[in-house]
Every structure is written in structure tokens, then in C-alpha cells.
Amino acid sequence: MTKLFSNYKRSTIEFVKAQGNELIDSQGKHYLDFSTGIGVTNLGFHPQVKAALENQVQEIWHTPNLYQNSLQEEVAQKLIGDYDYLAFFCNSGAEANEAAIKIARKASGKQGIITFQNSFHGRTFGSMSATGQDKIKTGFGDGVPHFSYAKFNDLMSVKSLVDEQTAAVMLEMVQGESGILPADKTFVQDLAAFCQEKGIYLIVDEVQTGMGRTGKLFSFEHYGIIPDIVTLAKGLANGVPVGAMLAKTNLGSAFSYGSHGSTFGGNKLAMAASSAVLDILTSPGFLDQTWENGNYLQDQLKKVLANNPKIIQIRGLGYMIGIQTTENLADLVQAARDKGLIVLTAGTDVIRLLPPLTLTKDEIDKGVAILADIFTEQG
Ligand SMILES: *Cc1c(COP(=O)(O)O)cnc(C)c1O
């Protein structure tokens, strides 16, 4: 009998090894990975990340944040580039969002945070309270107060929730967990302008969309805006637990000495992996290729699944793709596994693809063929 809580619905498959973009289970079966964990091992099991981890283990794998950490400096530098941000490192997406909520409140002296219906921001009390889905919160009693939930892609709805106590608006550029729902460009631009005019901080949760997932380092770069606060996690260290909160330099005094912290945050091991990840993502042409390949995958899917009555819509941004379907999701996921492809679901009716950014054309074609098969055979 398991001694683990049953809070996850686990498949009986156990992956015990990985090679590039393939997972190998305990029976020796190989699977092409179109899930990257859940948008985590964005570069597959990349030799450069592996080498960085191995090298760091040889030196030292943890030091406390009471001492200099040149790796944190290095990762912050690579992450921030020419933006006017400061970085705080933690261990997960939820923690990054906690840090964002805390700095927005402290810097503004206000408490209200507007998020969106069907958003997902994490499972801690603050990030759960930020999340606009009842099913995530049921049974846990009162959440953190002063959160309200606007309609996604609806600026009037945001405006109707704003008052003198509004500190920030927080959103995903593509709502991931609830079904791969991209924000409209005009909505995002109008929202950013509105927030700036009203002195409300704009927080963009890039936990799933960031780190090259959409073909840009940050998905907000598709929208021509610069948020006040940005959160990252999933792909940031390609599988080593890490999160980050970036905020404009002028918010720095809100996180002065002693105001916030994390025991493990920005650990040497995580930073070594993250530094390697950033070297790969920022290498010449990598993100352009990612954008191109993500679009190729989306186009191929649209081509092979055109006129398929089981498909409602195929949508996404870069390598963050949703296939909305009338079919049973669990059956589709199982059918894909049987044929050697690992996919995710999102919301109630979407097969979610978060493939490695390092897929070859052959691997894309192979995955598309399997997806075409399962949607043709099922039912
Ligand atoms: C996964 C996710 C989170 C939560 O990240 P954890 O590391 O599980 O805490 C927060 N926001 C978004 C958009 C996510 O996709």
C-alpha cells in the first residue's frame, strides 16, 4: 500500500531514464516527450545542463543567502539583460507569486490584487487566493483577502474592480492550466496603459509561459509591454526546483534587508542549471528557431486534424499548444502513451502540448502522426 497522499492521479508508468527528448520507463519502453514534466524540462535532458549540474556538485551544491552567490548574480544578469529589473530567487512558481504579491503590497502600501477568472497562480494560500478557479480552493476555508477576479480579455471588467486600494493586476499572457487561452494583444496593451495611468502594478505570471516556451524569453515580449513585476519557475532550471521574481528597480526598497527571504532560494545547484539554460536560450537563433518550430507544430496539427469532427480548436503561442476536443481526455492521453507519446491536459477539454524546445523536425512529425492517429481512432 502506498504511504503517499492520493492528491495526484498517477499513471502506473514510471520513467527511470531519459535521453534527449525521450523518456524511458521501467519496462524499457521509449516515449517521445511532448510534456516536459509540466513545462519544466524545456530543453529536454540536455547534455549542457547535465554537465553544469555535475560540475557544480563537484564544487559545492548549497550555500546560504547570508553569503555572496556569484551564480545568482550571473543568472540574474542573464535573465534581466537590458531590462530594468532586480531579481529574487525562490524554489517554485507559487513562491515566486507570493514574492510578487508581497512586493506589490509593500511598495504600493495597498492591498488589493485583481487577477482573472480561470487563472492559475499556485497552491500556497496567497497564490491559491490569486487563482480564479473555485475547484482549486474548495475545502480550505477563507483565502487571503483583497483578491478579486476580472473576466480575462475584458478591460471593462478590470476597471469595474479597481478602487483606491488596488495595488496590482496579475495575469498570465496565456492561461495555461485552464486550457491554453492566449490574451488578446490589444487587451494586454490597453491594460498595461491603464495600469500605468492609475499607478497600479502590472504583474505577469510567466511561470509556464516564460523561459522560451512561447518562442521569446518572456511571453510579454510578444505583446510589446514591460510588466512591473514578473514571476518565473517551471523551465528556469530545466528540472531543478527554482523560482524567480523580477521587479522594476524602483520597487527595490520594498524588499530591503530582512523583508523577505528563502532558505533554499537560488541554491548553487539550481543556479548552475539555470545559468546553462540561459546560455542555451540566448544563444544566437535559438529562440527564433523555437518560434518557427512551435508554429510548424501548430500548423501541422491544424493540417492533419482539419475537418476532424472531434477537434473544436487548435490554439496556442509558440510551443504552448492546446487541442480543444469533444473526446474524453484520459482516453486520449492513454492512447498517446500506448503509441509512445506523452501529452498533458488542461481545463476540461484540452490536450496540452508543452514539448521540449529542442525537438527536431523528425520528432515533431512523429508526434503529429501519433496525435493524428489517436484523434482518428478514438471513439
Ligand atoms: C505551474 C504554475 C504555477 C505554480 O508553480 P509551482 O511551481 O507548482 O508552485 C503558477 N503559475 C502558473 C502560471 C503555473 O503554470
Give the mean pLDDT of the chain: 97
pLDDT at 379 over 60: no
Tell me: is residue 206 an annotated ligand-binding position. Answer: yes
Distance from the alpha carbon of residue 164 to the mean position of ligand 1, in angstroms: 29
Distance from the alpha carbon of residue 107 to the mean position of ligand 1, in angstroms: 23
**3-class secondary structure per residue, 58-70:** HHCCCCCCCCCCH
pLDDT digits (tens, 9 = 90+) for 25-47: 999 999 999 999 999 999 999 99
Per-residue model confidence (pLDDT) at position 362: 98
The residues near 290 (Cβ < 8 Å, ≥ 6 apart) are 212, 215, 318, 319, 357
pLDDT digits (tens, 9 = 90+) for 144-199: 999 999 999 999 999 999 999 999 999 999 999 999 999 999 999 999 999 999 99
Write the DSSP string, 68-127: --HHHHHHHHHHHTTS-EEEEEESSHHHHHHHHHHHHHHHHT--EEEEETT----SSHHH
Q: Which domains does the chain have, with CATH numbers?
A: 15-45+285-375 (3.90.1150.10), 49-282 (3.40.640.10)
pLDDT digits (tens, 9 = 90+) for 46-62: 999 999 999 999 999 99
Per-residue model confidence (pLDDT) at position 1: 84
Q: Are strands 30-33 and 341-342 parallel, antiparallel or unpaired?
A: parallel
pLDDT digits (tens, 9 = 90+) for 86-120: 999 999 999 999 999 999 999 999 999 999 999 99
Q: Which of 40, 208, 220, 238 to mutate to test the pocket of ligand 1 (most atoms within 8 A of CB)?
A: 208
E strands, 117-186, in order: 147-150, 166-171, 174-175, 181-182
Task: State the pLDDT confidence band at 203, using cuts at 50, 70 and 90.
Answer: very high
Residue 123, C-alpha cell as written in the block:
497552491
Per-residue model confidence (pLDDT) at position 170: 98
pTM (2 d.p.): 0.98
Cβ–ligand 1 distance for 233 under 6 Å, the answer yes
The neighbour count for residue 78, using CB atoms within 10 Å, is 16
Residue 139, C-alpha cell as written in the block:
475545502
Question: Could you identify the atom of ligand 1 that is nearest to the CA of residue 97?
Answer: 10
Tell me: is residue 164 an annotated ligand-binding position. Answer: no
CA distance 167 to 253: 16
pLDDT digits (tens, 9 = 90+) for 225-270: 999 999 999 999 999 999 999 999 999 999 999 999 999 999 999 9
Q: Which of 125, 234, 354 to mutate to test the pocket of ligand 1 (most atoms within 8 A of CB)?
A: 234
Cβ–ligand 1 distance for 98 under 6 Å, the answer no
Q: Whose CA is nearest to atom 10 of ligand 1?
A: 121
pLDDT at 378 over 90: no
Q: Which CA distances in Å does 275 have to 1, 47, 77, 145, 283?
A: 41, 14, 10, 37, 12
Distance from the alpha carbon of residue 303 to the mean position of ligand 1, in angstroms: 31
Task: State the pLDDT confidence band at 201, using cuts at 50, 70 and 90.
Answer: very high
Tell me: is residue 207 an annotated ligand-binding position. Answer: yes
Judge contact between 34 and 226, C-beta under 8 A.
no
